Amino acid sequence: MPASFDDLQIGQVANLGAAAVEPDALEAFTTAFCPGWTTDRGAPDAMVFAIWSRLDALASDDWRQTKRLGVDALRWMRNPPAGELLRCRMTVMAKDPVGDDKGIVIAQHDLLDEGGRLVFSCLTRSVFAR
């Protein structure tokens, strides 16, 4: 992934990594945060969001992203089962320079299952240094 606002291109797709729905983590998460949810239903929406959030945070560590302004248009399409490998990608949808030293980037984030089916998606707005 390019390091700064000016390096980003509209339509550019970045791989944000992959993570499995670990059976032990699924059990612990549902016990702690989703009373009444059974693990045979797959990962609950909150856990899917947490997996995306972790992959996003790890991938953006080296970027010149200075602030996340918002996460919008959240969509949950399915609840992946224990053991499913999820991969995350980000597509740059728009960008707008704000002065000489920063710009706003709007991106779509998709979390896909092993078959390439959409599990979760959202739009983000972030400030990047120029």
Domain ranges of the chain: 5-129
Q: In this predicted model, what pLDDT tens digit does every residue of 8-26 receive, in sequence order?
A: 999 999 999 999 999 999 9
Confidence check: pLDDT of 84 > 90? yes
pLDDT above 90 for 44: yes
For residue 2, what pLDDT is reported? Answer: 61
pTM listed for this prediction: 0.93
At the top level of CATH, which class does the domain 5-129 belong to?
Answer: alpha beta
What is the tally of helices (H) and strands (E) in the chain? 2, 5
In the structure, what pLDDT confidence band is assigned to residue 91 with cuts at 50, 70 and 90? very high
**Rounded-to-integer distance, Cα 40 and Cα 6, Å:** 46
